[in-house]
Amino acid sequence: DQQVKQNSPSLSVQEGRISILNCDYTNSMFDYFLWYKKYPAEGPTFLISISSIKDKNEDGRFTVFLNKSAKHLSLHIVPSQPGDSAVYFCAASALWNNDMRFGAGTRLTVKP
* Closer of 50 and 79 to other proteins (Cβ): 50
**C-alpha closest to that of 6 among 76, 73, 77:** 73
Contacts with other proteins by CB under 8 A: the residue count is: 31
Does 70 participate in binding other proteins (rule CB under 8 A)? no
CA distance 31 to 68: 9
Among 11-19, 58-66, 69-77, 91-99, the segment contacting other proteins (CB under 8 A): 91-99
Using an 8 Å Cβ cutoff, are 106 and 5 in contact? no
Cis ω on the peptide bond leading into residue 79 (within 30° of 0)? yes
Tell me which residue of 66, 58, 86, 62 sits closest to 76, measured CA to CA: 62
Draw the binding track, 23-52, toward other proteins (x: CB under 8 A; -: no contact): --------xx-x-x----xxxxxx--x-x-
Query: Which one of 62, 104, 107, 109 is in contact with other proteins (CB under 8 A)?
Result: 104
Find the shortest distance in angstroms from Cβ 18 to other proteins.
24
